[in-house]
């Protein structure tokens, strides 16, 4: 099945996610020192009105206990509830992009799981998802 539109590709090490563009907030560089927030896997970035709570995801889409030095760009995911930003190695906006969407094999389909399909881009598997699924899975509500 083909899918087309505007998307954002987010990469955290080997984890590559494809989200609708409207699910992803503006990207910003990590410009300040990250400080532990007191909650495991959540870091503070900036101060005052610019304070962000930041999570760095693993390849399994769970918060990493330590913040990797190579995650240099932040992007929030628009869920309506969460004020979290996520730290990525790569953020690419893909305008008028077309992909061949593949559903996951039946053996991998779990109700409520954050990934239902994938596309291939430049020889890499990119997992299709949305902001709500990423945030709820990363914070443990769905997993």
Partner 1 sequence: MEQQLLQSIDLPAVLPEAAADEPRAPARLLEFKRGSFVAFPAHATIGLIDNPTVTPVPGAPYYCLGLMPWQGRQLPLLDLNTLLRAYPEGDAPPAGHVLVLAYQSAPGRPLEYGAVCAPWLVRMIEVGDSQQCELPCDSDLWPWISLACFDYDGHAVPVLDTSRVFGPPQ
For residues 109 to 138, the per-residue mask of contacts with partner 1, x marking binding by CB under 8 A and - elsewhere, is xx-xxxx--x-x---xx-x---------x-
The rounded distance, in Å, linking the Cα atoms of 125 and 118 is 7
**Least distance CB 113 / partner 1 (angstroms):** 3
Residue ranges in 48-107 that form contacts with partner 1 under rule CB under 8 A = 59-62, 102, 104-107
Q: Closer to partner 1 by CB, 30 or 57: give it.
A: 57
Counting contacts by CB under 8 A, is residue 20 touching partner 1? no
# residues near partner 1 by CB under 8 A: 26
User: Which helix (H) or strand (E) segment is 86 a member of?
Assistant: strand 84-88
3, 15, 27, 73: residue in contact with partner 1 (rule CB under 8 A) = 15
Q: Closer to partner 1 by CB, 62 or 78: give it.
A: 62
Buried b (16+ CB within 10 A) or exposed e, 25-47: eebbebeeebeeeeeebbbbbbe
Query: What percent of the residues of the chain are helix, what percent strand, and what percent coil, each to the nearest 5?
Result: 10, 50, 40
């Amino acid at each position: 099945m083909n899918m087309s539109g505007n998307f954002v590709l987010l990469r955290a090490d080997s984890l590559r996610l494809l989200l609708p563009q409207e699910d992803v907030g503006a990207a910003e560089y990590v410009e300040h020192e990250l400080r532990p927030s007191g909650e495991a896997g959540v870091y503070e970035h900036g101060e005052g009105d610019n304070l962000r709570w930041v999570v760095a995801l693993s390849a399994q889409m769970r918060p990493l206990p330590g913040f990797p030095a190579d995650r240099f760009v932040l992007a929030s995911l628009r869920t309506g509830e969460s004020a979290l930003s996520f730290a990525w190695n790569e953020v690419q906006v893909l305008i008028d992009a077309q992909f061949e969407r593949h559903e996951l094999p039946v053996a991998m389909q779990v109700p409520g799981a954050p990934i239902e399909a994938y596309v291939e881009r430049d020889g890499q598997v990119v997992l299709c998802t949305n902001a709500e699924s990423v945030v709820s899975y990363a914070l443990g509500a769905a997993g």
